[in-house]
Homo-oligomer: A and B are copies of this chain.
């Protein structure tokens, strides 16, 4: 039966150069990456099926899969079993500076921001957290595990520690207000700034990937920061994990 998908996407596909030291799967990946970059394959759009691509490039389906795996590794596409392979959205520009607010950034990008409280507990601060907050080792802190979304897409997840007793029941305020800034407001903190920020990168564990709705092993930007209130008191130590596929940090 004739089907629209049998018609090649490009009328004249340039043939692969075989036996010149450049693997076929690499040439296919480059060709597809170019079409994504040029917009010929729009963000969110579906790629042709593996079988269709194999036919188009004149190779085995394995070879196409190798090319698609390379694109998925670069974060350009994402495959879902039973559905297909889709072009990923370009990452959201996320300004990071002394006064950046997650909710403001996302709202300014025309998307709706919300933070989910995934869990909270009171515990004795570990050495690293105590030092970051300027507390005695073992001082009590409230620790929250949160996830931050823009229009239902998780952008980051964070583990935040705040000193007690000043911020007792901060987690309840956060759960109600969905924003650190608003929760601080409820505790009389109208202004806060970043004291220090460290940025690294690593691959997501299975658990982190599940929280961010990404595949395990996808790259994360790790942002470790300390916030101070208007009087210079350290009020918050946070370890944030941003999906590098969805967020790009803009340094100010």
| A164 CB within 8 Å of chain B | no
Residues of A in contact (CB 8 Å), total 30
Decide if A98 touches B201 in the complex (CB within 8 Å). no
Which of A73, A74, A196, A251 is most buried by chain B, counting CB atoms within 10 A of its CB?
A251
Which of A70, A199, A205, A220 is most buried by chain B, counting CB atoms within 10 A of its CB?
A199
Contacts of A202 in B (CB 8 A): 74-75, 219, 244
A219 with B201, Cβ < 8 A, contacts A96-B251, A251-B98, A251-B251 known: yes
Decide if A201 touches B201 in the complex (CB within 8 Å). yes
A93 to B202, CA, bound (A): 12
Q: Smallest CB-CB separation from A203: which chain B residue? A: B73
Decide if A196 touches B93 in the complex (CB within 8 Å). no
| A91 CB within 8 Å of chain B | yes
A201 to B201, CA, bound (A): 6
A219 with B203, Cβ < 8 A, contacts A98-B251, A251-B96, A251-B251 known: yes
